[in-house]
Amino acid sequence: MGKLPEGFMDFLGNITRFCLISSPRPGLIVNCAFLLMYEIVKIAQKSISTSGLVVRDGMAGVTEFNNSQGNLISKIRKRDGRIVSFEQSKISNAIYKALVATGKPDYPLAERLGVRVLQKMAQQGYGSEKAVATVEDVQDMVESILIEEGLSETAKSYILYRHERRKVRDEKMKVLNKKDLDEVDKAFDINSLRVLAARYLLRDENNEIVESPKQMFERVAILVGIADVMHDPQVFNLAGGHVQDAEEAAKYYHKLADFDMKLKIGEYWLNRYHFEAMVRSYIHGAKQGQMKVSFKELLRLVAEGKMATYSDRIREYYNLMISRDFLPNTPTLMNAGARLGQLSACFVLDMPDDMNRIMKSSTDAAMIFKSGGGVGINYSDLRPEGDIVASTSGVASGPTSFMRIIDTITDVVKQGGKRRGANMGILEAWHPDVEKFVTAKTKPGVFENFNVSVGIWEDFWKALVSKDGNHKYTLRNPRTHEPMRQIDAQQLIDLIALSAWKSAEPGVIFFDNINRYNPCIEAKGGPLRATNPCGEQSLYPYESCNLGSINLANFVKRKADGMYEFDWQRYEQAVRLSTRFLDNIIDMNKYPVEEIEVNTRATRRIGLGIMGIADLLFLLRIPYNSKDGYEFMNKLAEAVSYLSMDESVAIAKSRGPFPMFKDTDYVKGRIPVAGYYELPKETHTYDWATLIEKIKKNGIRNSWTSTIAPTGTLSMIADTANGVEPVFALVFEKRVTVGRFFYTDKVFENVLKENGLYSDEILTKIANNYGSVRGIAEIPEWMQRTFVTAIDIHWMDHIMAQAVWQKWISNAIAKTINMPGDVTAEDVKCSYLLSHELGLKGVTVFRDGSRQEQVLHITGKNNGEKQFTVKPSRYVADHIQNNIQEPYVREQMLKILKERGVDDGTVLQQATAAPPAAPVAEVPKKATQPAAMQVMSSNEDTTCPSCKARLVITEGCNICIECGFSSCASG
């Protein structure tokens, strides 16, 4: 048989694709077509010339081809018509993925086949400017080469892949309301784009999307970059003393429409809201005497291109976000360069015992909700229920009645017109109404828009662990400060634990730990007494904070042996740039209440945190709850605080420290970082002493720099794991009318494929095993140890992980302490004891089954007993043995360790009984899921206000796992 007719293999490939797409049983037709093609190819290969190219000898073939053809194939035409540089590696990588999918992970083979594709392109005349191959041309050639090589199964996988990619492209265009896709659209997966479309992209008056993700990120980056322009030496002088006409600048507020898209910084045009922010920033600087030029002169400098160099910095901010190395909190993505202009996630208001001020706080809360923020309020200053009200000769209704006011306001005011607000309600343990407060949310339908927490101080803790057996604790009237009655501290902590065991509420906030290294107590006239809705950000009244998260899973590089290592250099660069990004937000923000602007600028607090730790540890093959895991997390945590503070000092040199700096403990060399004081100096990675000296000399721009927030929707956009959480499950099963399918963690899925383990059968076993690989015989032991889920980790280790991060994070951490359904209220109580002793600033416990209705269960149906045992790690057991000194706490912890045992490092096998069927998991296709996810009580509002899907709760926040709606402002 002679050489096949030209185009014959392409013809067969097209027939196969047609069969695949249009047949009701495509698999049968594909198999038949491939058998036909395979037989033809075997005969034809004997006479097909390779034109003298050595294509089966590894890189020799690549070299010979390159030497003979030069760089003729240098361009390729994208689907949107753009002609871009051709990258041969993309062909090899695509072929390699197809090989992996069919159990042949052979990259040298992929490279050799890639050379065959280039050969075919050259043979068909591609390479000249007039003959530029399209993406579809190249993919057709890949199919032909795979078939010619006899790799029918790999070709089938590649064809299926192309078909799926086509479907995804069509779906993306539908979601984004676009006719073609740009490079950013292509880089983000479909679920990320759904979240962006549902919540972040701008819409017109008909609710039609009028902005692409690329335009959204540019809109944000431009606004952040304007802050750098406003501090250019041509216009800004830190020393002050300049007199400019702020009123002249204010007149431009009436000309915003006239300046819409009229000025640009380099290649970036300023819209009317960018221009408004520039006016606002100039007025603030002029009032400080720091603007060297008039506003008109500033506009002239911009118009003449004198500020064009700042386009490079704007591009840096843009690339930081589109790479998903870093994402700012939700209000920034929603509102930067848009009408609302409010960029902060976290706010705290006060609630004094005065009706006028109570009503003012209520009004201010409404304004915050409207602008896109969440509110935390400490209600402890309100007189208790039944106390006298002199002005009316009546009796007080107590703090919970005033919480209902805020709860109602939250119901009727949407955040930024897109979501309902979130609240944190706090009552301190000494308040006479504390017992009623503790049990308030055990009743369905009460305070649906609140997270609630009990605030604990050192005096309560002393009563709780008293050695003499006297656990009496005095409750005081906040109006008179007089004692009202005594309770037993042990009984109160038992009540808190029982309530949390039943309903996952309340949480506990340790105000003594929060204020231990607070540098602003004297400057602010007292300690911190309130937090934002998720508890990770403590704030003074009328103070706000903007948050952002670095995606740790992105900071890896592959070594020669195929394994990954962490890229510390890129991590440092991202931390430093993200710090500047968040500091700029303070200057560009449009604050909803004047007092909030004053107080926020006084402390310039930022909250840089992380997400994706679970996926990072998977990539590095480090078990989350291991000595290596804890030590690595410790190093990551120290780096984010040290580097952000060091960069904050660098910013202070040119822009000045936060205004309150001279009145704080920073001038005495004290910093809000526990690890510096509590961990041995020889274990520190960075030179903190030198940093402290730099702070004393130059000041620091931001009073606090690091916070780890819940990253629910941000993680969905970044396609990574939430915050510091382990993954909830490696595999979810979803059952629908046409069958069932699985959602698998992306890193885990790749490892299964690379090790030849990926199959529907193994996915079913994992899903039926509560999403865990623990005890599954087919899964190698190293994999069982590495790929741990939230339920594989004992609650002591959850606390240990949070404590490791907390040592270095200057604010606090949003994390869920997961517990299986069979724990007791005593376990919950002990989690509080251990958390306080390890220095946590707050703790939220979720026991599986503690909500009336759940969409994702740890213990499966039938209230089933777990089929594997989870014990505390040896690391946490040794830490407790060697470091917990408080006798009462130590006694309780050692008791648990004795009863439950310690994980000695071997994989625990399943019991012989078959596990219950996996629960139906109505979740979107996403790489990872939160570590605690439960549907709201059936008596609560369970409907997403955006897409009407079912809401779940994760990290204390209501979230829709279909569209990404969240009640927490930070995520």
Checking if the pLDDT of 164 tops 60, the result is: yes
Two structure tokens written together for 794: 């004992």
* The amino acid at 401: S
CA 327/CA 89 separation, integer angstroms? 29
Lowest mean pLDDT among 388-392, 415-419, 818-822: 415-419
pLDDT number for residue 959: 57
Checking if the pLDDT of 709 tops 90, the result is: yes
Mind listing the pLDDT tens digit for each residue in 750-791?
999 889 899 989 998 998 888 999 999 999 999 999 999 998
Average pLDDT, the chain: 84
pLDDT number for residue 430: 98
Question: 456: helix, coil or strand?
Answer: strand
Two structure tokens written together for 247: 């009123």
Contact 866/539 with Cβ under 8 angstroms?
no
pLDDT number for residue 292: 97
**pLDDT range class, residue 414, cuts 50, 70, 90:** low
Beta-bridge partner residues of 943: 950
pLDDT number for residue 955: 54
Lowest mean pLDDT among 75-84, 333-342, 668-677, 717-726: 75-84
Residue 702 has what DSSP assignment? -
Give the angle subtended at the CA of 544 by the CAs of 543 and 550, to the nearest 5°: 145
On the 0-12 / 13-18 / 19+ scale of CB atoms within 10 A, 58 is middle
Contact 744/767 with Cβ under 8 angstroms?
no
Mean per-residue pLDDT for 281-298? 97
Mean per-residue pLDDT for 207-225? 97
481 CB-near residues (< 8 Å, 6+ apart): none
pLDDT number for residue 741: 64
Checking if the pLDDT of 206 tops 50, the result is: yes
**pLDDT range class, residue 689, cuts 50, 70, 90:** very high
Count how many residues are written for the chain: 971
On the 0-12 / 13-18 / 19+ scale of CB atoms within 10 A, 49 is exposed
Q: Looking up tokens 């064009």, which residue turns up?
A: 308
Share of the chain above pLDDT 90, in %: 61
CA 801/CA 629 separation, integer angstroms? 9
Two structure tokens written together for 890: 């130590």
Q: Looking up tokens 């050799």, which residue turns up?
A: 112
Beta-bridge partner residues of 472: 488
pLDDT number for residue 420: 60
Mind listing the pLDDT tens digit for each residue in 663-678?
999 999 999 999 999 9
590 CB-near residues (< 8 Å, 6+ apart): 276, 277, 280, 335, 340, 341, 342, 343, 371
Residue 567: name the closest of 552, 581, 577 by CA. Answer: 552
599 CB-near residues (< 8 Å, 6+ apart): 540, 541, 542, 543, 544
Rounded to the nearest 10 degrees, what angle do helices 152-176 and 135-148 cross at? 160
pLDDT number for residue 830: 97
Checking if the pLDDT of 736 tops 70, the result is: no
Q: What is the dihedral of CA 433, 435, 437, 443, to 10 degrees?
A: -140
Beta-bridge partner residues of 708: 813
E-assigned strand segments in 314-467: 326-328, 346-349, 374-378, 388-389, 394-395, 414-415, 419-420, 423-428, 450-456
Contact 395/389 with Cβ under 8 angstroms?
yes
Cα separations (Å) of 617 from 490, 565, 622, 720, 753?
39, 10, 5, 12, 18
Residue 98: name the closest of 55, 147, 45, 40 by CA. Answer: 147
Residue 689 has what DSSP assignment? H
Contact 936/922 with Cβ under 8 angstroms?
no
Strands 374-378 and 423-428: parallel
Report which of residues 667 and 969 the model is more confident about.
667
Mind listing the pLDDT tens digit for each residue in 859-891?
344 333 445 688 999 999 999 999 999 999 999
CA 57/CA 47 separation, integer angstroms? 20
Contact 350/362 with Cβ under 8 angstroms?
no
Checking if the pLDDT of 916 tops 80, the result is: no
Beta-bridge partner residues of 486: 474
Lowest mean pLDDT among 6-10, 532-536, 907-911: 907-911
Active site amino acids: 532, 534, 536
* The amino acid at 642: Y
Contact 348/322 with Cβ under 8 angstroms?
no
Question: Can you give 805-849 as a three-state secondary structure string?
Answer: HHCCCCCCECCEEEECCCCCHHHHHHHHHHHHHCCCCEEEEEECC
CA 202/CA 207 separation, integer angstroms? 9
Phi, psi of 479 (to 5 degrees): -75, -45
Residue 518: name the closest of 510, 506, 527 by CA. Answer: 527
Q: Looking up tokens 């990404």, which residue turns up?
A: 964
CA 721/CA 746 separation, integer angstroms? 10
CA 61/CA 108 separation, integer angstroms? 11
Cα separations (Å) of 678 from 155, 191, 520, 796?
59, 42, 20, 20
Q: What is the dihedral of CA 474, 475, 479, 481, to 10 degrees?
A: 10
Mind listing the pLDDT tens digit for each residue in 10-44?
555 555 554 444 444 444 344 444 444 444 444 44
Checking if the pLDDT of 918 tops 80, the result is: no
**pLDDT range class, residue 743, cuts 50, 70, 90:** confident
Two structure tokens written together for 847: 């026991």
Q: Which long-range CB contacts under 8 A does 385-394 form with residues at least 24 apart? A: 385/432, 385/433, 385/436, 387/477, 387/479
Checking if the pLDDT of 934 tops 70, the result is: no
Answer whether the bond into residue 780 is a cis peptide, omega within 30°: no
**pLDDT range class, residue 68, cuts 50, 70, 90:** very low
pLDDT number for residue 6: 54
Q: Looking up tokens 């969240």, which residue turns up?
A: 966
Checking if the pLDDT of 622 tops 90, the result is: yes
pLDDT number for residue 832: 97
**pLDDT range class, residue 445, cuts 50, 70, 90:** confident
Phi, psi of 263 (to 5 degrees): -120, 155
Mean per-residue pLDDT for 234-238? 97
Mind listing the pLDDT tens digit for each residue in 106-155?
888 888 888 888 888 888 878 666 678 888 888 888 888 888 888 888 88
The secondary structure element, H or E, covering residue 547 is strand 543-551
Report which of residues 357 and 446 the model is more confident about.
357
**pLDDT range class, residue 59, cuts 50, 70, 90:** very low
pLDDT number for residue 413: 81
Question: Can you give 866-906 as a three-state secondary structure string?
Answer: CCCCCCCEHHHHHHHHHHCCCHHHHHHHHHHHHHHCCECCC
pLDDT number for residue 921: 28
* The amino acid at 816: T
Mind listing the pLDDT tens digit for each residue in 804-856?
999 999 999 999 898 988 899 999 999 999 999 999 999 999 988 776 444 34
CA 531/CA 35 separation, integer angstroms? 66
Report which of residues 117 and 427 the model is more confident about.
427
